[in-house]
Structure 1
Amino acid sequence: MEFDVIQGDIAAQSADALVNAAGTSLRMGSGVAGALRRRAGEELNEEAMETGPVDLGDVAVTDAYELDAEYVIHAAAMPHYGDGQATEESIRDATRNTLETADDLECESIVLPALGCGVAGFDLADGAAIIGEEIDHYEPETLEEVRLIAYSDEEYDTVRAAVGKAERSEMIDESDADR
């Protein structure tokens, strides 16, 4: 399974599934959820609200509407907005459940943000490292490509360093040169 860190707007990405950094209520407010809702249309928020709430660490799936994806996987790494912060356990569970759900849906590609970071209050570098570990340990069935997305230059640099992608990229380049 390919795993990379990219920079950009998650709502402008193309993949089988885009992942929403959700709270347990699945109400789509600001941040990643707001970007997805604005691009997809209000129907995305309405379906998410009908689907929720979910337990902390769980996921729900909706249609992607006007997004360039088939599904939106809503990963609840944080309690309902304003009701607390994300934890290491909630980020691990939400990441693992996202990967398993993507496989269950027979997705080949997903794009996910740093779950539990941002408005959820978890440190970006620590959260990205947890997500990277879960991706590294996951054994996919159909999932071939996972892209961890960061919005700004600073977030991209932090996430990339936290998951060790700079070092991995150099190692891959060196091993490819030996072939």
Structure 2
Amino acid sequence: MEFSVVQGDIAEESADALVNAAGTSLRMGSGVAGALRRNANGPINDEAMSKGPVDLGEVAVTDAFDLDAEYVIHAAAMPHYGDGRATPESIRQATRNTLERADELGCDSIVMPILGTGAAGFEFERGARLVCEEIDDYEPATLTDVRVIGYSERETEQVREIAATLRD
């Protein structure tokens, strides 16, 4: 499936669903989760945690509150126990489950960060390749606008370079 790469703060994006890079407890701490929690202006953390814990690689859905989206899909690519580190399989599974859930919800558009990096400790470029490969291989039912977001210019450029290799 084709997707685009954008740069910015996911909490300022507009889509049917925004994706939270979550841990298995679904507690919304820092990074992507913190940005979404702060901008939602509602009990998104409480709602998310009421749906957890979830298994590694699984997802949960909450209301987006004041975010410019209908849903937030919380993708648990990292465990909130043990070493707290994401794995290649947890990143792939969380990405795939996110896309499937977005289709089940009837979403046309979704914005997804690179799961499993940052606090989850997985190397960014490798994580970006895993996420982009899963999106590229996915056959959507309703999704037509999938955006992968990088926060910094450097991250965004890395994701763009990876996406270009998938399209060649």
> Which sits farther off after the overlay, 147-156 or 88-97?
147-156
Equivalent pairs, count? 168
Q: Kindly report the root-mean-square deviation, in angstroms, between the aligned alpha carbons of the 2 structures.
A: 1.5
Q: Deviations over 1:22-59 (max 9, x none)?
A: 00000000000000000002411110011111000000
Q: Which residue of 2 aligns with 1:79?
A: 79
Q: How does 1:65-144 map to 2 (within 5 A)?
A: 65-80=65-80, 83-144=83-144
2:56 aligned residue: 56
What fraction of aligned residue pairs are identical, expressed as a percent?
69
Shift of 1:157: 1.4
Give the whole-Å Cα distance in 2 for the aligned partners of 1:82 and 1:14.
35
CA distance in 1, matches of 2:132, 2:110: 14
Contact 1:57 1:76 in 2 (8 A): yes
CA distance in 1, matches of 2:160, 2:82: 28
SS of 2:149's equivalent?
Answer: strand
TM (norm. structure 2) is: 0.95
> 1:177 — aligned with what?
none
1:162 deviates by: 2.6
Secondary structure of the structure 2 residue equivalent to 1:62? strand
Cα distance in structure 2, aligned partners of 1:63 and 1:94: 19
Counterpart contact for 1:126–1:162, Cα < 8 Å: no
TM-score by length of 1: 0.89
Cα 1:130–1:162 shift into 2, 3 Å: same
Can you give the 5+ residue segments of structure 1 that lack an aligned partner in the other structure? 172-179
Question: Which of structures 1 and 2 has the bigger CA Rg?
Answer: 1
